[in-house]
Chains A and B, each alone.
Chain A
Amino acid sequence: MSPNDKKRQADSQIIARWVHEGDRVLDLGCGRGILLEYLQQKKSIYGVGVDIDLGKILSCVKRGVPAYQGDIGAILATFPDDSFDHVILSRTVEQLEDADSILAEGLRVGRHVTVGFVNKGFWINRLNALFHGNRTVNEVYPKPWYESMPSNPFSVAEFEAFCDARKIVIENRAYLSGDWRNECRKLPNLLAGYAIYDLSSID
């Protein structure tokens, strides 16, 4: 595994801590199915991936991960309440057109919703914006703006304010520092490069 892959899969281990043996997991924006394959191996989960891109579905097929090619909102609507133990959105929320309603739907379909995202408020991202005024380009997002998916990045503080406003319960949270490996313990809005939340709705 390349260092980039390692970094890209930084959230796998943390998510695996929150997932129980044999859980039912729906991964929205599953990409190549790497997280679900990992959870299948570690926790014997029943996992389903959703992605809009056929190339990603092909990779899931190669891994033996069941996957559904299509729109996230449309597939969510076909599931009854509490169909899954976990609905995961790992680096997906920032690409959603209607993040608010998708998260609400996720909380209806799943008992827990797991969200992982790159913290817009991370100090290097702030400095980059201040000195260069550029969009962040790094190992995980190597492509320039004109070759990338539209993205709507947000900060730890913005996300937590949203959860508060929507009365979403944060059951667990983890902040990773700039290397996406070591945990970040203080001033997460400034010092965390990556944030992962385990959410539930108030019953």
Chain B
Amino acid sequence: MNDSEQAPIIPEEGEVGFVEYQDFVSKETFKFVSGGNLPELTLRYETYGHLNAAKDNAILICHALSGDHHCAGVHGIEERKQGWWNFMVGPGKPIDTTRYFVICSNVLGGCQGSTGPGSINPETGKAYQLDFPKLTVQDMVKAQSLLVDHFGIDRLHAVMGGSMGGMQTVQWAIDFPDRVGRYIALACGARHTAQAIAFNDTGRQAIISDPAWQQGSYDPEHGPDQGLAVARMMAHITYLSDVGMESKFGRKRRNADESKEHFDVEFEVESYLRYQGASFVSRFDANSYLYLTKALDRFDLHSPESLDDTLSAVTAPGLVVGFTSDWLYPPQGNREIVESLLRLGKHATYAELAMDFGHDSFLVRAPRLYELIHRFLIR
């Protein structure tokens, strides 16, 4: 059938430009689902755009495992890399900062300024390390809700995120139905598959078996860098796809000649992954990585009740997006959430994008993804 429909007119795009992070500090005891607690809590965050007088134009963005609060703009003229979702956030972009007030905070348990295992426990004067309480996605979301309170926002226009951010997003819709106007969860799932848990545990074992880990009580300057780098290299493979890696690297060689050393970097893909591992070590804490991956493995909307029972609390309209080449959080896991929501008679949409970038597809600028998010937010 002739069903052509005109593409939406997206106004000219701008950039959010220079941004600065802020720290939110809560001096009240923070209680974890597990029963543990923190005497106080810091969340590092950035905001873009302006909160309106009615305080009803805020969008909370939740980042993925290795992401942070810096999702748009640059911190200074020296910084060459923009925030991780810069193509999505800015004036005239789908998350339009002339319209919305955007908040993105570093996750609880993280290591980019928010309280995590590497933070100093004010009661002991030493880093928490493995004394940090058992962490869940629910705890992450509860901490973010304190930041939203801090702005005096009762109800968010939207909550959104991909991967671990997508799981937080769905958790928001479950735990705070009255505070979520709508939600968009990308490349996520109701729980980890056995394969996802297997990859995470192999990464954790790489860290734990590094002698420098020292049962988690390492000096931050001399942490288990080898183990963390290997964990990151392996995880990074799961974020890409076979097709994507083949077209990006193929069998391209770093040097035209055979390497002198038998096990030196020979292929382009080796060089890329080793670089990913090495640069990750400079910005990530190994214990944070252990806590966050474990929180993801434990995340399970099928438990303790059924998926339908868990999702029955949701009231907001939702959009869930799966990506065909994502083998870490495959389309089926995303679909399952929407199937359950529809069984429950909720307003939910499932869209599936055919992209070759694997799990990381949600971090790649694609016109269809752009359009989906733009349209869903504006309705």
Contacts and interface: CB of A to CB of B under 8 A. Distances in A.
Interface string B304-331: 0000000000000101000000000000
B156 interface: no
B339 interface: yes
A141 B371 CA distance: 27
Contacts of B8: 62
A61 B348 contact: no
B343 A78 contact: yes
A83 interface: yes
Interface residues of A, number: 32
A59 interface: yes
Contacts of A56: 3
Contacts of B342: 48, 66, 68, 75, 78-79
B349 A67 contact: yes
Nearest to A56: B3
A55 B2 CA distance: 12
Given A58-B368, A58-B375, A69 B350 contact: yes
Contacts of B3: 31-32, 55-56, 59
Interface in B331-379: 335, 338-339, 342-343, 345, 347-354, 368, 371-372, 375-376, 379
Interface string A68-82: 111000010011100
A142 B347 CA distance: 34
A80 B368 CA distance: 32
A31 B4 CA distance: 11
Contact of B345 (A24, A75, A143): A24
Contact of A46 (B345, B354, B379): B345
A147 to B, nearest CB: 10
B123 interface: no
A54 interface: yes
A115 interface: no
Contact of A61 (B2, B345, B353, B376): B376
B349 A54 contact: no
A103 interface: no
Nearest to A52: B352
Interface in B279-327: 317, 319
B149 interface: no
Contact of B1 (A24, A61, A67, A141): A141
A61 B350 contact: no
A60 interface: yes
Nearest to B376: A61
Given A31-B3, A32-B5, A57-B351, A64 B372 contact: no
A136 to B, nearest CB: 13
A61 B375 CA distance: 6
A61 B349 contact: yes
Given A31-B3, A64-B379, A68-B350, A58 B371 contact: yes
A57 B3 CA distance: 12
A202 interface: no
Contacts of B350: 57, 67-70
B5 to A, nearest CB: 6
A140 interface: yes
Nearest to B354: A54
Nearest to B378: A62
B349 A83 contact: no
B1, B319, B372: residue with the most chain A Cβ atoms closer than 10 Å: B1
Contacts of A31: 1, 3
A62 B335 contact: no
Contacts of B349: 57, 60-61, 66-68
Contacts of A24: 345
A4 B2 CA distance: 10
**The 4 residue pairs across chains A and B that have the minimum distance between CB atoms:** A78-B339, A61-B375, A68-B350, A66-B347
Given A62-B375, A67-B350, 18 more contacts: A24-B345, A32-B5, A46-B345, A54-B351, A57-B351, A58-B371, A58-B372, A59-B3, A61-B376, A64-B379, A66-B347, A68-B342, A69-B352, A70-B352, A80-B343, A83-B343, A140-B1, A143-B1
Interface of B: 1-3, 5, 8, 317, 319, 335, 338-339, 342-343, 345, 347-354, 368, 371-372, 375-376, 379
